[in-house]
């Protein structure tokens, strides 16, 4: 010990570090290491790769006290006011490389929602404010476009099934209806690839979100009329309803209603009305019989879909606009109109309202999506025109104005390549990358360059 | 014995010097005298001090001249001895040596009578050579001389020697003396000296004067010159015969005045004639200037206590810590400084013990300076209140504690060409409607800022006011464009709601038909043309003049409009269910002034009419004026009533935002002057948040916290929260209208820059 201390302190000061990770595939035996403090991320990454004896080096990032190490250890110690005498706990994670701009595909109106289907081929389903949905290939080719079935904007779209021969998806929006579309990919461009099959009618106001659970073949819709409707893709289970009509036909409506083909009109399996304000999003949990819904009335409600009853209500301080689950961590991330993302533990046993508050957005957070690669990472799209990538490990205790919990900041910020405009939807898949749509009428695709390496890594295992 | 001899010799010498004849006579008569002496002792008055021994010698001398000579020769040394004795030194041996030499100086001459005559040398006139003036005083005291009758002496001198009785004259002498009496002879013997007591010249003169019955006083003139008072030449009379003046008899007016003054004082009680003597004060006669603390002086404006000297500090200690001791440079600097410029009038010094501390030589000067300071420096008692100005401010809660309230611009609604005149949020909280100068009414999705519906009402006239019907059923939007009021059901809602709204609006057509032929109504209800009807307009009401403002009644059946240009029918109430318009105030004189805004009370049947200067509250049930508020503003631009109905905010073009508590007075409870330019619109939040806001031509919207307590004794709490900046000022116009989201703490503003904004 003393001999190491004597070794020329000014140039190579040593520090003891305890390396740890939460990823079991990358764990190394716990052993205290003494390393020079002038090491940076790259040096540490090399060290870990050496310890793991990986065939191909994996880039690692290092978290110290919930903060990514962006400087040398020495500078970090100086900044944090820590002594090099004390051992430092360092957590290493697979490096999340900054997603770089790949390209963007323009449409003719604002795009409200995006959903990516990876198999059999990566395709992007987008819903537009002009009332049409569009299927775009990764190369930017418009594979299909829906007929203007919706008289007003589409607000949400979701794939139900996607195979090489047949696919179906749902769209819903301002005109209070949900349409089920069937899509046959491999058709000649002359024929209509997308045909509406069923129209689901229940909501009295804008439908804000759809959530499909493949295991139960059920989907949920949330609406601004404070309700959540439970539907099934099996039309035989649903009651048939008649289309309400306006007494006075407007010219526009006459024009639109004349065109679309007749569809089956179906009512919901159940209508849930636990909220007192427009419901912003509803989301199936891991368990397909449970769902989470968030609303402008600031509450997160867990629903039991079998009984259609709310299980638990968690009230926050701000109107909530978006939600996503981090299933392995038992966490919910909720984006609020108060420009931040809060992490909640939805379990009943949890006492605290907030686990952490992530700040950085300058406007309401309207879309959240999990990372396909890491259970700790998710992305958020906001009306401030940025997409941010967050790591729930990168939170540190601080006295935020929420009074409790921890706060964190984003890993990366992706700006709109077109300059400005709100982001209305984000989706993230391994094949396509991070796709965001917004007011600039563009589908913007960003990719992290490290992803390929990880694929290789996974395959090697 | 020696003294005796000298006296005798001296008297003899004197006699020889002055009266040689007599001396011879004396010598001649000596034996006889001696003989007489023996016989009569009583007559020895005139003799000096004599001893019995001297008597013997004299007698022996008288007996034999030779003896006398011997004796005299013997006595001469003794006579010499007297001078040393007078000097206080006695030496027998010396006197023995000197005996021979003076004896040699004596010349014996045969006198005329044949007897040897001793001629002594001249006495050298040196000091102490003669003591004839030394008075011999008898020291026996006050005892009768008779006690010494049987002794040759009559007492003792100061040296304890006997004073011999003067030789008494013989009978012959007495006779001779009686024949030839000396002047002033009295025949008496001096008691002390035993000599004849004679009168002096002066005493004799007095005796003579007494004999002549004259005044013995010397200088007395028994015959002075006559002063001529009243003679033949001078006629002066020391006494006057004038009659006594009257004033001697009349009582003095002046005295009477003084007395009356006192009498008046007594009567009025100012003077107490028999006032008991004031108790002698218990204070000590002398002021104890060394007392530790002076008694506190009575509080008086002129009594300003001297400022206290600061307590001594470390460097005034006799042994200060070393850091207080000046170094050489500082010392030098201090010494070079002018005494007046010195910060301290001493240099800190260290002493080993307190007893080694020298006196402070500048003490007097320092006290003097202090006294000068106290006397000369003006001391003024200031009536300044020592109050921290911050403490006078009301304790307002921090804005952070009053969250949530709008802070940032979330959405900008772009699309209007020209100013956005009016903004109104849908009761469901999903849509927001705007009306602008381009003659369009637009409805927007709140969060995304997407325009979902647009109605072009007019190409040349502006939409001045849009407002939603404040009920949950039937989404009806009222818009004022020019002199038309449009009641619209925008086709963005559920078909049920849409149809409901249309039914509500169309229900009155039957009533309108029945009313044909009645007197002219202020507004004409009519169906819109097809183009407008297809867009959702159900009814248009055509007024005579431009409608500037629309307000709904809470139940949604009535709406009240203001058209300030129509002098007689400025305020008009429309009933949706019967398609009826009427003016509540027939005459202009009722409102007295051009109405600016009107509002229904949120719960009571009251109508608030804001004219330029006053707000009049009319009771619609009783059809009378119930109250007039006087905000004091020059030109009221807008009013809004608190959802609970007891408070009112008023915005005015003279930059003031006034809060009226209707329970308090007709004057504003609070005046808020935060805007730089005139206020265009004010609004209360109606969804449960204690918020209100004002928008102004300075391009800002200011958000306030306005909490009202259910306790009637507690006044409303008003806290300025946030200034929302974002709207650009276009042609001196800023933010023209504001409205709150019905549920959320979100604020909509309509700007002259062609945008509407959402703040959250």
- For the stretch B346-380, pLDDT in tens is 888 899 999 998 888 888 988 898 888 888 877 77
Beta strands in B161-311 (DSSP E): 162-164, 188-189, 196-197
At residue B457, does pLDDT exceed 70? yes
Nearest CA in chain A to B495: A246
More confident call, A393 vs B350:
B350
At residue A373, does pLDDT exceed 60? yes
Instruction: List the single range of A218-222, B307-311, B408-412 with lowest mean pLDDT.
Output: B307-311
**pLDDT confidence of residue A191:** 63
List where CATH 2.130.10.10 sits in chain B.
400-759
Please check whether residue A241 touches B, CB under 8 A.
no
Please check whether residue A424 touches B, CB under 8 A.
yes
At residue B32, does pLDDT exceed 60? no
| C-alpha distances out from residue B757 to B383, B736, B739, B740, Å | 53, 12, 10, 11
Show residues of chain B in contact with A153, CB under 8 Å: 445, 450, 452
Cα B185 to chain center, whole Å?
Answer: 93
Answer for the pair B574, B559: CB distance below 8 angstroms, yes or no: yes
How distant is the Cα of A381 from the closest Cα of chain B, in angstroms?
13
Please check whether residue B400 touches A, CB under 8 A.
yes
Q: State whether A296 and B429 contact (CB < 8 Å).
A: yes
At residue B311, does pLDDT exceed 60? yes
More confident call, A452 vs A329:
A329
Radius of gyration (C-alpha) of chain B in whole angstroms: 72
Instruction: List the single range of A291-295, A415-419, B332-336 with lowest mean pLDDT.
Output: A415-419
Please check whether residue A361 touches B, CB under 8 A.
no
At residue B471, does pLDDT exceed 70? yes
Class for the domain spanning A2-94: alpha beta
Q: Read off the tokens for B513.
A: 């038909």
Looking at domain A99-450, its CATH superfamily turns out to be YVTN repeat-like/Quinoprotein amine dehydrogenase (2.130.10.10)
The DSSP output letter for A453 is: H
Q: Please compute the mean of the pLDDT values over residues A268-291 and round it to a whole number.
A: 89
The DSSP output letter for B146 is: G
| A125 φ, ψ (degrees, to nearest 5) | -105, 125
- Taking domain B400-759, whether its CATH number is 3.40.50.720 is answered by no
Between helix B20-39 and helix B52-63 the angle, nearest 10°, is: 120
Strands A290-295 and A299-304: antiparallel
- Position B42 confidence tier, pLDDT thresholds 50, 70, 90: very low
Answer for the pair B455, B488: CB distance below 8 angstroms, yes or no: yes
CA A207 – CA A172 distance, rounded (Å): 6
Residue with tokens 């002199």: B483
Report the run of H or E that residue B632 belongs to, with start and end: none
Best residue in A337, A366, A424 to probe B by mutation, most B CBs within 10 Å? Answer: A337
Please check whether residue B452 touches A, CB under 8 A.
yes
In chain B, the percentage of residues whose pLDDT exceeds 70 is 79
Note if the bond before A153 is cis, omega within 30 degrees.
Answer: no
* Close Cβ partners of A172 (under 8 Å, ≥ 6 residues apart): A154, A155, A156, A157, A178, A179, A207, A210, A221
**pLDDT confidence of residue B360:** 83
Please check whether residue A337 touches B, CB under 8 A.
yes
**pLDDT confidence of residue B749:** 93
Most confident residue range from A140-149, A270-279, B92-101: A270-279
At residue B13, does pLDDT exceed 90? no
For chain B, positions 501-560, list CB contacts with chain A under 8 A.
502-503, 533-536
- Position B744 confidence tier, pLDDT thresholds 50, 70, 90: confident
Least CB–CB distance from A251: residue in B410, B534, B746: B534
Tell me whether the CATH fold assigned to A2-94 matches the one assigned to A99-450. no
* Close Cβ partners of B152 (under 8 Å, ≥ 6 residues apart): B50, B51, B52, B55, B162, B164, B165
The DSSP output letter for A348 is: T
The DSSP output letter for B211 is: H
Q: What does the domain layout of chain A look like in residue ranges?
A: 2-94, 99-450
Show residues of chain A in contact with B746, CB under 8 Å: 337
CA A52 – CA A27 distance, rounded (Å): 8
How distant is the Cα of B499 from the closest Cα of chain A, in angstroms?
6
- Position A249 confidence tier, pLDDT thresholds 50, 70, 90: very low
Most confident residue range from B58-62, B327-331, B471-475, B589-593: B327-331
CA A165 – CA B463 distance, rounded (Å): 54
**pLDDT confidence of residue A456:** 36
More confident call, B238 vs A167:
A167
Q: Read off the tokens for B707.
A: 């909490």
**pLDDT confidence of residue B756:** 92
Strands B597-600 and B606-610: antiparallel
The DSSP output letter for B7 is: H
Instruction: List the single range of A129-138, A184-193, B374-383, B640-649 with lowest mean pLDDT.
Output: A184-193
**pLDDT confidence of residue B589:** 55
Q: Please compute the mean of the pLDDT values over residues B688-696 and round it to a whole number.
A: 91
State pLDDT tens for residues B197-220: 788 888 888 888 899 888 888 888
**pLDDT confidence of residue B25:** 42
More confident call, A406 vs B607:
B607
- Position B260 confidence tier, pLDDT thresholds 50, 70, 90: very high
Q: Which of A411, A328, A414 is nearest to A67 (CA)?
A: A411
**pLDDT confidence of residue B136:** 66
Answer for the pair A314, A349: CB distance below 8 angstroms, yes or no: no
């Amino acid at each position: 010990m003393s001999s190491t201390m004597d070794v020329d302190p000014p140039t190579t000061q040593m520090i003891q570090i305890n390396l740890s990770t939460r990823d079991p595939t990358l764990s190394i035996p716990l052993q205290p290491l003494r390393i020079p403090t002038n090491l940076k991320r790259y040096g540490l990454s090399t060290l870990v790769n050496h310890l793991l004896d990986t065939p191909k080096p994996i880039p690692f990032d290092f978290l110290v006290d919930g903060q990514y190490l962006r400087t040398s250890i020495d500078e970090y110690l100086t900044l944090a006011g820590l002594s090099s005498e004390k051992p430092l706990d360092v957590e290493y994670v697979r490096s999340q490389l900054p997603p770089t701009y790949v390209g963007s595909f323009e449409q003719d109106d604002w795009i409200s929602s995006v959903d990516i289907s990876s198999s059999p081929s990566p395709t992007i389903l987008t819903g537009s404010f002009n009332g049409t949905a569009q299927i775009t290939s990764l190369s930017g080719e418009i594979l299909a476009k829906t007929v203007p079935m919706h008289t007003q904007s589409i607000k949400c779209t979701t794939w139900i099934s996607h195979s090489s021969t047949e696919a179906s998806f749902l769209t819903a929006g301002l005109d209070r209806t949900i349409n089920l579309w069937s899509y046959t990919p491999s058709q000649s461009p002359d024929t209509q690839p997308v045909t509406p099959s069923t129209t689901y009618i229940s909501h009295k106001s804008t439908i804000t979100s759809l959530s499909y659970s493949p295991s139960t073949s059920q989907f949920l819709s949330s609406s601004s009329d404070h309700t959540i409707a439970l539907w099934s893709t099996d039309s035989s289970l649903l009651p048939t309803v008649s289309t309400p009509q306006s007494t006075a036909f407007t010219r526009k409506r006459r024009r639109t209603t004349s065109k679309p083909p007749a569809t089956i009109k179906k009512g919901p399996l159940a209508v849930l009305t636990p909220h007192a304000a427009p419901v912003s999003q509803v989301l199936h949990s891991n368990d397909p019989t449970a769902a989470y819904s968030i609303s402008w009335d600031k509450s997160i409600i867990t629903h039991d879909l079998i009984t259609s009853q709310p299980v638990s209500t968690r009230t926050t301080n701000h109107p909530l606009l978006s939600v996503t689950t981090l299933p392995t961590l038992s966490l919910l991330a909720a984006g609020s109109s108060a420009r931040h993302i809060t992490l909640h533990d939805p379990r009943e046993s949890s006492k605290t309202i907030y686990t952490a508050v992530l700040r950085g957005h300058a406007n309401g957070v309207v879309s959240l999506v999990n990372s396909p690669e890491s259970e700790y990472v998710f992305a958020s799209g906001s009306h401030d025109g940025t997409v941010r990538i967050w790591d729930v490990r990168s939170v540190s205790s601080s006295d935020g104005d929420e009074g409790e919990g921890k706060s964190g900041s984003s890993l990366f910020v992706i700006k709109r390549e077109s300059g400005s405009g709100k982001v209305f939807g984000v989706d993230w898949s391994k094949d396509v990358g991070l796709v965001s749509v917004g007011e600039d009428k563009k589908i913007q695709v960003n990719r992290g360059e490290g992803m390929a390496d990880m694929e290789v890594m996974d395959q090697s295992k | 014995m020696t003294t005796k001899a000298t006296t005798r010799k001296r008297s003899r010498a004197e006699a020889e010097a002055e009266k040689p004849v007599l001396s011879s006579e004396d010598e001649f008569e000596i034996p006889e005298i001696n003989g007489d002496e023996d016989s009569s002792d009583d007559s020895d008055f005139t003799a000096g001090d004599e001893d019995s021994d001297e008597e013997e010698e004299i007698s022996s001398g008288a007996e034999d001249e030779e003896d006398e000579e011997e004796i005299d020769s013997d006595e001469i040394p003794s006579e010499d001895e007297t001078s040393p004795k007078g000097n206080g030194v006695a030496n027998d041996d010396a006197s023995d040596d000197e005996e021979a030499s003076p004896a040699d100086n004596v010349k014996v001459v045969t006198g005329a009578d044949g007897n040897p005559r001793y001629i002594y040398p001249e006495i050298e006139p040196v000091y102490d050579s003669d003591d004839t003036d030394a008075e011999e005083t008898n020291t026996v005291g006050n005892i009768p001389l008779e006690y010494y009758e049987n002794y040759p002496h009559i007492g003792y001198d100061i040296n304890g020697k006997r004073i011999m009785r003067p030789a008494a004259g013989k009978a012959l002498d007495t006779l001779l003396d009686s024949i030839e009496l000396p002047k002033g002879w009295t025949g008496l013997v001096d008691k002390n000296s035993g000599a004849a007591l004679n009168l002096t010249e002066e005493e004799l003169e007095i005796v003579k004067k007494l004999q002549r019955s004259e005044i013995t006083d010397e200088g007395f003139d028994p015959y002075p010159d006559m002063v001529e008072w009243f003679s033949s030449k001078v006629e002066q009379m020391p006494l006057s015969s004038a009659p006594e003046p009257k004033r001697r008899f009349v009582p003095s007016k002046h005295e009477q005045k003084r007395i009356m003054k006192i009498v008046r004082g007594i009567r009025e009680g100012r003077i107490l004639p028999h006032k008991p003597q004031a108790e002698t004060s218990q204070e000590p006669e002398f002021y104890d200037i060394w007392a530790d603390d002076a008694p506190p002086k009575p509080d008086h404006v002129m009594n300003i206590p001297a400022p206290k000297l600061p307590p001594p500090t470390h460097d005034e200690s006799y042994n200060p810590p070393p850091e207080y001791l000046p170094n050489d440079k500082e010392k030098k600097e201090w010494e070079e400084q002018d005494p007046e410029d010195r910060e301290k009038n001493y240099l800190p010094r260290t002493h080993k013990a307190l007893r080694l501390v020298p006196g402070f030589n500048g003490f007097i000067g320092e006290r003097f300076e202090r006294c000068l300071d106290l006397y000369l420096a003006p001391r003024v008692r200031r009536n300044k209140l020592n109050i921290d100005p911050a403490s006078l401010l009301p304790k307002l809660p921090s804005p952070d504690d009053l969250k949530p309230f709008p802070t940032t611009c979330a959405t900008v609604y772009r699309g209007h060409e020209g100013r956005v005149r009016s903004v109104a949020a849908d009761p469901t909280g999903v849509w927001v409607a705007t009306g602008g100068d381009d003659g369009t009414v637009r409805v927007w999705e709140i969060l995304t800022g997407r325009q979902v519906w647009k109605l072009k009402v007019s190409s040349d006239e502006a939409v001045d006011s849009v407002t939603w019907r404040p009920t949950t059923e039937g989404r009806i939007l009222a818009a004022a464009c020019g002199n038309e009021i449009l009641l619209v059901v925008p086709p963005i809602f559920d078909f049920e709601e849409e149809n409901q709204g249309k039914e509500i609006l169309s229900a009155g057509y039957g009533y309108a038909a029945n009313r044909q032929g009645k007197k002219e109504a202020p507004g004409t209800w009519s169906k819109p043309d097809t183009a407008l009807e297809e867009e959702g307009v159900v009814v248009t009401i055509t007024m005579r003049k431009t409608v500037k403002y629309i307000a709904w009644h809470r139940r949604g059946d009535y709406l009240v409009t203001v058209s300030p240009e129509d002098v007689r029918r400025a305020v008009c109430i429309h009933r949706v269910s019967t398609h009826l318009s009427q003016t509540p105030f027939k005459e202009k004189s009722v409102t007295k002034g051009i109405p600016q805004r009107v509002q229904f009370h949120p719960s009571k049947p009251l109508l608030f009419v804001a004219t330029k200067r006053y707000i009049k509250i009319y009771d619609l049930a009783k059809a009378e004026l119930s109250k007039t508020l006087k905000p004091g503003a020059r030109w009221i631009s807008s009013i809004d009533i608190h959802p609970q109905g007891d408070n009112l905010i008023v915005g005015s073009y003279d930059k003031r935002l006034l809060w009226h508590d209707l329970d308090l007075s007709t004057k504003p409870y609070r005046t808020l002057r935060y805007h730089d330019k005139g206020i265009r619109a004010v609004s209360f939040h109606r969804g449960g948040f204690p918020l209100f806001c004002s928008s102004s031509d300075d391009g800002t919207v200011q958000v306030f916290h306005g909490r009202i307590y259910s306790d009637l004794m507690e006044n409303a709490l008003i806290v300025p929260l946030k200034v929302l900046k974002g709207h650009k000022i276009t042609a001196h116009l800023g933010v023209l209208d504001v409205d709150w989201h019905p549920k959320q703490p979100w604020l909509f503003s309509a700007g002259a820059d062609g945008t509407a904004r959402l703040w959250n």
